[in-house]
Amino acid sequence: MEEEFDVLVKDADGDVVIEETMTSYANGFIDLWLPRGETFDVTIEHDGKQAEAALPTNEGDSTCITDMQLQ
């Protein structure tokens, strides 16, 4: 089921990289394309719930994150 999520991504300096409402695919996933070699603070909000995580994009890091749970 497609749902809308408010997505905020900041780099290590606190600069906003992404700030937009994104619609998930029917499987519930959203795509975030982030530059390599950095760590980003990601906040996702939906229906009054929020999930936050630091996501690194260095070589060897995961390219698919499935464990962010809205709380």
Whole-Å CA distances, 44 to 26, 31, 59: 17, 12, 24
- Claim: this prediction has a pTM higher than 0.75: yes
In a domain, 24, yes or no: yes
Number of domains in the chain: 1
Using alpha carbons, select from 26, 37, 32 the residue that is nearest to residue 3: 26
Contact 36, 5 (CB under 8 A): no
What's the rounded Cα separation, in Å, for the pair 5 and 23?
Answer: 6
Rounded to an integer, the average pLDDT of 34-63 is: 93
In a domain, 61, yes or no: no
Q: How does pLDDT run across 6-40, given as a tens digit for each residue?
A: 999 999 999 999 999 999 999 888 998 899 999 99
Does the structure show a pLDDT above 90 at 52?
Answer: yes
What's the rounded Cα separation, in Å, for the pair 29 and 27?
Answer: 6
Does the structure show a pLDDT above 80 at 69?
Answer: no
In a domain, 70, yes or no: no
In a domain, 25, yes or no: yes
Domain containing 18 equals: 4-56
